[in-house]
Amino acid sequence: MSQSDRPCWDIFCKIVDNYGDIGICWRLSQQLVNEHHVNVRLFIDHLNVASKIIPLLNANGPLQYIHGVAVCAWPTADTLPAKVVIETFSCQLPESYVARMTELQSVWINLEYLSAEIWVGDFHAKPSPQAKFNITRHFFFPGFTEKTGGLIREKNLMSKRDEFLNSASQQTKFWQELAVDQLIVKNSLKISLFCYPQANVLPLVSALISQQQNSTLFITFNDTITTLSDIFADFKQINANTLTKENITIFFLPFLSQAHYDRLLWACDLNFVRGEDSWIRAIWASKAFIWQPYLQTEATHIKKMQAFLDLYLSHATKEIQTLLTNAYLAWSTPQANAEVNLIDFIHALPKLNSYAAQQADRFAGQTDLASNLHSFSEKLAKNKV
């Protein structure tokens, strides 16, 4: 199929906070181009922020082609819509643009946030008529079951992961690129840490110090680092990016590309993740992980966390159910016994990693998000004919 014969999609991304929204949109855009032969225009409201996730992006360029994706500034009043329009996370399309969508009979899909809550399956793919513009908007929910839109997963992701884990040279190159001393990480428990400020980091540090094993903690660049300064106040500074205390070494990593972050998750024995993008990538890493949901009022985030645990642990033994549930609560809620629960979790890592690999395979058996979106858009387009 030639470039001119490919279907055209517009994807809209407003960066609300951090980099989760653009992270999801950038992965999805590239996959649609590479695997489904779609021409994608990715409209972004803050190009300067997006450049963290898309390193080749020039924040002052209104249109540029990167990895086959047309990355664009927010559309103007005369922008002609594509035949398929993906509004991500209810970001609100410009009214002038929606009016022209009506004229062209564009397919309008709103891609929602990921959730494991049961109601998601009931609302997935449901229409929402927009009387003001005489056009129908459809809700599309990512999720963990066949009743939802699935999870982002590139076709070759699992094979690339396995190739990396089976290649000493790839791993050596990776640590060198991060300027990490391989002698330090060689015989240590490797842990990646990406969390919100509310995470109970101190009990984790105490739990690691209590172990006989050496531990290496990789803290990715994020807004949590400044909140950790008190916790690491008594650590010895080896250099600008490395601290140590007893059996723990801490590396403060720079902002990682998506490819490097994937490799970090693959290389570690335990991953702490947050939000949506890193949560999904931790699942595909097939390693034990603890997910921290975004803090919400009335403990709504804990309900979302429990919904995920109910689904994720549906194939687990009672022991694994208890270990994971206690560790998740220890990480995201104030608890007097948080350190004990995290110690129990660390001691059980071999069996937890085995279970994580089983669940990664289970979810990988489902159709991925991009493929589901592509099929759904074609179905809607046929109904318009």
Decide if 242 contacts 211 (C-beta within 8 A).
no
Decide if 6 contacts 38 (C-beta within 8 A).
yes
Rounded CA-CA distance 218/174 in Å is 14
Decide if 61 contacts 52 (C-beta within 8 A).
no
Rounded CA-CA distance 144/167 in Å is 30
Q: What are phi and psi of 272, to 5 degrees?
A: -105, 125
Rounded CA-CA distance 216/52 in Å is 26
Q: Which is the catalytic residue, given 10, 262, 276, 368?
A: 276
Rounded CA-CA distance 81/45 in Å is 17
Rounded CA-CA distance 58/42 in Å is 14
Q: What is the 3-state secondary structure (H, E, C) of 309-332?
A: HHHHCCCCCHHHHHHHHHHHHHHH
Q: Which is the catalytic residue, given 21, 262, 269, 277?
A: 21
Decide if 100 contacts 133 (C-beta within 8 A).
no
Radius of gyration over alpha carbons of the chain, in Å? Answer: 22
Q: What value, to the nearest 5°, has the Cα angle with vertex 308 and ends 204 and 280?
A: 75
Taking CA atoms, 188 is separated from 78, 200, 247, 250, 310, in Å, by 57, 22, 9, 12, 32
DSSP assigned state of 199: S
How many CA atoms lie less than 13 Å away from 367 in the CB half-sphere? Answer: 11
Is residue 21 annotated as a catalytic residue, yes or no?
A: yes
Task: Classify the phi-psi angles of 10: left when phi > 0, otherwise alpha if psi is within -120 to 50, otherwise beta.
Answer: beta
Q: What are phi and psi of 291, to 5 degrees?
A: -100, 135
Is residue 95 annotated as a catalytic residue, yes or no?
A: no
Could you list the active site residues?
A: 21, 276
